[in-house]
Structure 1
Amino acid sequence: MKYEQVERKMPVSLKESILRQPWCSALRTSGDSLGEILTQPTHLAELYRQLSSDEQRTLHLVMSTFGCLPFTSERLEKEAVLQMAGAQVSLGLWGLRRYGVIVAFRKSWGEQLYTLPEDAFSGWQSLIFPTAWPAGQNELDELSDLDLSDRMADMDEGVPSNPRGLAQQLFHCMVSCSRQSELSLTNKGTLHKKQLQKIIEHVSLPPRILTQSGLTYAFMDMYDEPAALMLELGMRMGFLYKNEVGNRFLFHHRNFERWLQSSYEHQQTQLYRIWRQALIPAPVWLEHGISFMDKATDLHWYSFSELMQAVLSCCSIGLKPIDEVALRQELMAVWIRPLFTFRFVELAEDQEGELWFRWLIKPRLITGEGSDFHIERTLQTEPSLYVQPDFEVLLPPNASLRLEWEVAAFADLQNADLVRTYRLTKESFGRALDHGLRASNVIQVLRDHAYYDVPEQVIITLQQWEEQKDKLYLTDVTLLRCQTNEVAEALLRNEKCRNLLGERLGETNFIISHAHIKHLTKCLEAMGFHPNQSTIPNLWSDEELEIPSWNELQLGLCYSKDTIQLYEIDPYLPRREDLYPDMQQIPMSWIKELRDYHASTRKDMIRKAIEWKSVLQLRKEGRDCFIIPRMLREDRTGWILEGWEEYEEIAWTSEDWKEMKLILPGINDGSVREKEETLGEL
């Protein structure tokens, strides 16, 4: 969940209490959103300096164990048991909530869940784990002769990856969708099997491409994973959408053609963003791996082992063991291998067998209009295809998808390899004529982009095919009937209406193009006429609706892993004193000074420390020990205090220490007292 979504759900009073804090007011400029304040690295660095020791340690714990996954306070305390008392964790969580760093949600049955918004993760990672991320290498010396593509194909159950990548495969799939007369859905809401096979004919992906990365999706019994991924991307990008009735998919030409205007790298980056977002929130080790890789410079080589060590340094908690071999395999299977399959990254091995990777895209590329679009249009004026005498059209690797879209309009795909091969046939050319293209249009496309002259026999044949095209054809139109000649004449006198009327039949009828029905209907209504809607073809639901751009939340087949957005934000913040109910009933000497107490008082202090999940300060052999008590065990020989001191378990009898004191985090430990004025009250 991102701060943008959090801010929409957050109560106004809670948001204002965060924005009023002095540190926030000092950094905030006019119009800054909460997300902008709590994600900018410079702002986070200033905030980190404001955090108390307990708050910093709690944030470190969250980043190490949960990342952006939702967690409960009980789970957090359990993870902290060796290094922080429960009261310290509660106090740290309380402070982080007040700053807006951690957001609390409440389920319908009352359980609280906490989360760190995902768009702040990278900034906090840099501050809390200043791991030296290597600068990368421009070139790798002595690369191994091992063919990694073959090895990856073996790992992916014998399926070779498309050499052009995911954008190329999505392109072929969407071209096929655009050619279907309709994409009707079954009663269950899925595409028909034969039609599905047709539109994914040129898709080559591993059979477990989704579930291997922990993704699940709707209709798993009907769609295999490559097909589901293609449909997911098509819907997320806004190329496919359901009609108003919900019984078929429609193809959004404008959105697709808009995507084709950008460079191939930009197209790949957009798909990477969708893939990355689908995996978030991820297990903490994967979250750290993704964040580190996002910071890598494109076209620079990085060691996979160094990435592993960086991840391990962020996920090592206390003495908890980590299976490095298993983690390496998981990171490879869930993250690295799909990136390689999609051609987002390139992999290589050196002579020692060390695996290296480098980005083929810019993972942090900011989307939108700009130089990226200009570069693509410049490339379009350069030669980028070959026209063979046998009517084959070859598109080399540098040929853009925008050009390929033009070629696909009049030729059929034969080979979807690095060099794409199309063939011009009488049938494919006839399809282009049916969609309004002329021989002159096709010839001009070939001449504009061919490396060499277009063979003369190809030009002559295209012109002959056009001449041989059917001399008559059937077409669907709508007939507008007027009740009288006077009504027909009134329509002709209206300037706006007249331009939408087609051929006049007799005195009272007009042929209306389907493309003009919507605008003509509005014009007639403005004139006071109300055409019978039941007799008008249902074109409204088939219009190309304005679908949100690719980076906005859209519904697809894959189930979102961000389940916490289903709940409401908990606006209630307890007071710090609520951590210690009935504190006024204990002797103040317990928390003011180190003293030697009677055995019964010692047990009372230990029990109270366990109840409040606080800390005991014990003086043993002249040194002060800070103990997190776990239990007070009594037997026939006496009683024993069990707990932890600096990650080590202890079991002490009453004679093992002299003076003692009850430490209440936030009350007498000095950890947050200096922050009271800064934080203020809600």
Structure 2
Amino acid sequence: MDVTSTQGNWNELLADELLVLRRCFVRYAAQPMKEEEPMQLTQGALSGVETKLALHGLRSRGWLEAVTKSWGERILYIPVDRLPALYDMLLEQTPMNGIHTDHPITVHEAMTGLESELLHVLSRIAIQGVPLTAKGTIHKRSLQKLNELTPFRPEDLEGLGLHYAHAELYPVQTVVMIDLLLSLGLLVKETVSFRIQEAELATWIRLSAGQMRKHIFDTLMERYGKAEAPMQHFRYMLCAVSQYGGTDEWISIQYLLQWMLQVGLIPQNSLSGDDSTNSAFIDIVPTIANLKGLEDETVSDFNFNGSFMEDIMGWLKALTAFGMGDWGQTTSGEICFRWNVSVTDLLRPYNDEDTHQEQGAFYVQPDFEILVPPDVAYDVRWRLECCCERVTGDRMVVYRITRESITEAIELGMEAKEIPALLDKYSRTGVPEHVRLAVEQWAGNVGRTAFVTVTLLRCGTQEDADMVARHPALEGLLERLGDKDFMIPVHSAEKIRKALAAIGLSPRLEPKNADEPAHHYPLLTEIENLDAGRSLFSQEGRAGLVYTGRTLHFYEQEHTLPDPSDYFPERSTVPSSWTKEWRSYHTSTSRQLMEQAIRWQAAVGLRISGKEVKWIPESVVSGDPWSVTGWYASGMDEETPSRATLQPSDWSDMRLLVPFT
């Protein structure tokens, strides 16, 4: 059976499927889990085979996915794109009130213009390059330039606790900048340097700022957030509660954490100094009674430990550094956060139909400055980056056009006539006449003289040179420079080499390590009819600088499901009466039925004192009489199963509980 990708709602799931999904979600978020771990989470609430069938249903509907390691071990996980619906489920089942707090007295505002800052970094990399040493590290001089370019501050990113190679050389703010470009696919590391991926860049600069922000946000959430369930829960819950107010509303972090603790998303050790990752989560299935007192608790009643709160603060500072929101503190010291982006749109699956590009224009000033508002398309900005000097970067980016910037642009491959044409086409109020004349003059002056790469042919004697000059096959290919030297075009070198060899004057090979060609600035012409959705900028598994700890992309994705009939081996040998009807059996037959249930990991229905109960047998203990240990189970989320030992005399009738009769 093949896995489907249906996107049904969570409330369309069967009761057992919902119970399994909720427990896996609360415990693991979207982190990987071994195949047997859902069985442990539902122990006593569902039988083993009920859990297997529920997992089968969840995988068939796309709520769970699986990968297989090379030795056959199966790993399950909830896809990240399913998480928002599950947090909405929690909020629907357990509404949150009082999440907002007063305006803080101290506000740390979000950085603005990250998209244009990254464009500027890419432009500088295209012009200057990023060479690597023999050890694969960035050259010191290039690293210094990158440190000056990064839009991030170290104090805003240190709390993420990122791990990366050469930490003694690379500052965290530069690592995150380069890693972000690598993980977006805009940059790739090669043997001798980092290189811009032109196809991906062509797609990137055709996106709107909002679409760029979505891909950046996806990378931030899953690459720089810690790969631990409690922190993943916090990241997504902070997004989910944005539905309770607009971008001006401040969210109380303490209240959010206390709500998460009550519903089981945070482990109990968050309230103490114990940082052990093996500490038990709070009761995985919260009851309504657990939540009734939530509004009566005060912030001071919940004292989260230092390590956990450091992770929380590290994340809030990173969100601010990436321009997603502001964080602050109230007069009482309470931490709060507010979004300044529509986070629900950022979490929505990418749709090619959403693709649209800004259509704004810039303003050319009499002092040669160019004011670029936020609504100017990024492919236009990319060409401005080539032919102008950037003065400031923020929501309004300011460039200045100079003689030097025009000279550099033309040397990088921009046609002289394209520069005034670019200004004319996208200037909202036109180009001041004296600016136009200066630009045309500066552009016209470039190239009146030029450095040309040629090859010098030097002969050993004047007689050899005279022989070369007289050879009819070389006529028109050589320009004599004195007694023994000739200048030849590079593209004719091979033809001349063969002709010289034919007359016994075969030249030595040219020396290696010739001067490298000048940098070429990519994508200087307008791009038409480009499919802006074809590149996956948030693709998992791209090689970056940061060690994320995520390994699922290394394993083979499973696209088929096991046959449910395999869960019931030798089914034909089991008497049909065991599954069809309630009956009283001889003690030996009762034992056989109970042992069959254990082999199938199935439940048994028992009538005890006239009441039907669901019993999940675990093991049969020999004796006179024999006994069975197991669980009383309700199959309900609200009740905690109880363990006991029974003897045949404790029940009257019984039936094997399986999904067939």
After TM superposition, the score normalised by the length of structure 1 is 0.64
In the aligned structure 1, how far is the partner of 2:469 from the partner of 2:19? Answer: 81
Distance 1:638 1:132, change over 3 A: closer
CA contact (8 A) 1:632 1:639 kept: yes
Displacement of 1:614 after TM fit? 2.6
**Structure 1 residue 38 and structure 2 residue 5: aligned?**
yes
Q: Which amino acid aligns with 1:657?
A: D
Aligned partner of residue 274 in structure 1, secondary structure: helix
Distance 1:626 1:423, change over 3 A: same
**Structure 1 residue 91 and structure 2 residue 53: aligned?**
yes
In the aligned structure 2, how far is the partner of 1:318 from the partner of 1:624? Answer: 24
Match of 2:284 among 287, 296, 317: 317
Distance 1:111 1:509, change over 3 A: same
**Structure 1 residue 149 and structure 2 residue 108: aligned?**
yes
In structure 1, the partner of 2:112 is 163
Displacement of 1:611 after TM fit? 4.8
CA contact (8 A) 1:63 1:125 kept: no
In structure 2, the partner of 1:549 is 535
Aligned residues: 578
Distance 1:163 1:146, change over 3 A: farther
In structure 2, the partner of 1:293 is 239
Match of 1:248 among 178, 190, 193: 193
CA contact (8 A) 2:64 2:77 kept: yes
Aligned partner of residue 108 in structure 2, secondary structure: helix
Aligned partner of residue 115 in structure 2, secondary structure: helix
**Structure 1 residue 179 and structure 2 residue 172: aligned?**
no
In structure 1, the partner of 2:453 is 476
Aligned partner of residue 38 in structure 1, secondary structure: coil
Match of 1:621 among 591, 595, 609: 609
In structure 2, the partner of 1:66 is 28
Aligned partner of residue 666 in structure 1, secondary structure: coil
Displacement of 1:259 after TM fit? 3.5
In the aligned structure 1, how far is the partner of 2:183 from the partner of 2:656? Answer: 53
CA contact (8 A) 2:104 2:328 kept: no
In structure 2, the partner of 1:338 is 318
CA contact (8 A) 1:239 1:255 kept: yes
In the aligned structure 1, how far is the partner of 2:286 from the partner of 2:83? Answer: 24
In the aligned structure 2, how far is the partner of 1:98 from the partner of 1:393? Answer: 56
Distance 1:568 1:418, change over 3 A: closer
Task: Report the identity percentage.
Answer: 21
Distance 1:108 1:257, change over 3 A: closer
In structure 2, the partner of 1:110 is 72
Q: CA RMSD in A?
A: 5.9
Aligned partner of residue 200 in structure 1, secondary structure: helix
Distance 1:177 1:540, change over 3 A: closer
**Which range moves more in the overlay, 234-243 or 300-309?**
300-309
Aligned partner of residue 33 in structure 2, secondary structure: coil
Match of 2:356 among 372, 378, 387: 372
In structure 2, the gaps of 5 or more residues are: 266-282, 292-300, 459-467, 481-485, 495-507, 524-531, 635-639
CA contact (8 A) 2:618 2:628 kept: no
In the aligned structure 2, how far is the partner of 1:369 from the partner of 1:99? Answer: 25
Q: Which amino acid aligns with 1:187?
A: A
Displacement of 1:203 after TM fit? 1.7
Aligned partner of residue 451 in structure 2, secondary structure: coil
Once the two structures are superposed, residues 537-589 of structure 1 have per-residue CA deviations (whole angstroms, 9 ceiling, x without a partner) of 89999999999835356443345655233333567865545435566777766
In the aligned structure 1, how far is the partner of 2:123 from the partner of 2:226? Answer: 32
Distance 1:649 1:143, change over 3 A: closer
Distance 1:115 1:454, change over 3 A: same
In the aligned structure 2, how far is the partner of 1:267 from the partner of 1:336? Answer: 21
Aligned partner of residue 218 in structure 2, secondary structure: helix
CA contact (8 A) 2:597 2:603 kept: yes
Within a 5 Å distance, the mapping from 1:379-528 to structure 2 comes to: 379-380=360-361, 382-383=362-363, 386=365, 388=367, 405-409=382-386, 412-413=389-390, 415-416=392-393, 420=397, 431-432=408-409, 434-435=411-412, 449=427, 474-477=451-454, 505=479, 511=489
Displacement of 1:79 after TM fit? 0.9
In structure 2, the partner of 1:197 is 144
Match of 2:658 among 661, 665, 675: 665
CA contact (8 A) 2:412 2:519 kept: no
After TM superposition, the score normalised by the length of structure 2 is 0.66
Displacement of 1:228 after TM fit? 2.1
CA contact (8 A) 1:480 1:511 kept: no
Displacement of 1:87 after TM fit? 2.1
In the aligned structure 1, how far is the partner of 2:49 from the partner of 2:126? Answer: 61
In the aligned structure 1, how far is the partner of 2:402 from the partner of 2:29? Answer: 56
Displacement of 1:340 after TM fit? 2.8
CA contact (8 A) 2:105 2:331 kept: no
CA contact (8 A) 2:326 2:337 kept: no
Match of 2:341 among 359, 371, 374: 359
In the aligned structure 2, how far is the partner of 1:638 from the partner of 1:437? Answer: 90
